[in-house]
Structure 1
């Protein structure tokens, strides 16, 4: 059975921090693959800076095409919106459950608010969670400390954000070193975030 880590995000745009964390997980944990699950834009929120789903998928595809253990996923594009992680997990189990075992990947900052997620207890009962370090404030809820389903991964701390990249690019700064070359090329050709 293939063990797949699900790395959820808008990836607006995907950057080298995302790749470094995902690659660390497939090389230094028991995960066989990491799928980048691109979260669609909620119909209830309008964010001008959020690119169309398919453009963000294309950038993730460009970023991971040379890494066989990393895959782009548009699984949430066809699910009812707004979508909740539990619904995506149920859908993935129905589609791939026979040969795939799914786990969540999240930053330490997300673990701090995990108790607010829809059906978080069910997620914790049925799925493992791999937590990578983030520089953040606040305490992790006591029920998550030392939990057998939560694995803290000693991945590099990558404090690069897509928000910073968008703002810096819009301001005319050179942010090329923060992106895989193919992502930078696509973003530049499409004139995104200007």
Structure 2
């Protein structure tokens, strides 16, 4: 089975994440997309994150109507902070019959050469890249790499940071979130302070 791994803190997961994941699930040569909830991204401050369990629960709620999209807590069991290369090695060992690829935005591809052991990742895994509004994309070093596949997905510029700030400032963000995710956030009074 060909699995696309869409990593994120999903703090919270929003419709932009689902639009991208569903588009790739339906239009790329992948069988499933796993939304991998990252407990702690080495580039983000831990104190801005909701508890791992709550973010995973929101991904469950958001994806339950999408049979090709699955939530994954695989990184919860790995030492923190974790690196993608370690997660991929762990998944390949645990699911040797599956073929794992990464899903990332063009903005992440620009800084991919800074990732730990990025050459090992490229050697063993495909990368599916969705468009973002960003500068210097034409000059991307990896644009023509045989393992890098550009997907003509919709450009979605919604950020979890914007959603958190809007909730904190008492703005209505319901259209930006799956309804069950909004209900979960509202019920638990998340992001209000």
Normalising TM by the smaller chain, what interval? over 0.9
SS of alignment partner, residue 71 of structure 1: strand
1:80-129: CA deviations, max 9, x gaps? 1110000000000000112x110000000000000000111110010000
CA distance in 2, matches of 1:121, 1:140: 21
Name the structure 2 match of 1:110. 108
CA distance in 1, matches of 2:44, 2:158: 24
Name the structure 2 match of 1:12. 11
**Which of 131, 146, 149 does residue 147 from structure 2 map onto?**
149
Any conservation in 2 of the 1:111–1:140 contact (CA below 8 Å)? Answer: no
Any conservation in 2 of the 1:107–1:133 contact (CA below 8 Å)? Answer: yes
1:135-183: CA deviations, max 9, x gaps? 1224566540211100000000000000000001110000000000000
Structure 2's unaligned 5+ residue stretches are none
Any conservation in 2 of the 1:112–1:140 contact (CA below 8 Å)? Answer: no
Any conservation in 1 of the 2:40–2:82 contact (CA below 8 Å)? Answer: no
- What is the root-mean-square deviation in Å for CA atoms of aligned residues? 1.6
CA distance in 2, matches of 1:166, 1:86: 29
Any conservation in 1 of the 2:42–2:82 contact (CA below 8 Å)? Answer: no
Name the structure 1 match of 2:23. 24
Any conservation in 1 of the 2:110–2:140 contact (CA below 8 Å)? Answer: no
Deviation of 1:43 (Å):
9.0
Structure 1's unaligned 5+ residue stretches are none
1:23-58: CA deviations, max 9, x gaps? 000100101100000000369975433100000000
Alignment of 1:101-180 (within 5 A): 101-139=99-137, 142-180=140-178
CA distance in 2, matches of 1:118, 1:49: 23
SS of alignment partner, residue 109 of structure 2: helix
The TM-score, its normalising length taken from structure 2, stands at 0.95
What is the aligned length? Answer: 192
Structure 1 residues 91 and 165: alpha-carbon distance in aligned structure 2, compared to 1, 3 A threshold: same
The TM-score, its normalising length taken from structure 1, stands at 0.94
CA distance in 2, matches of 1:40, 1:116: 20
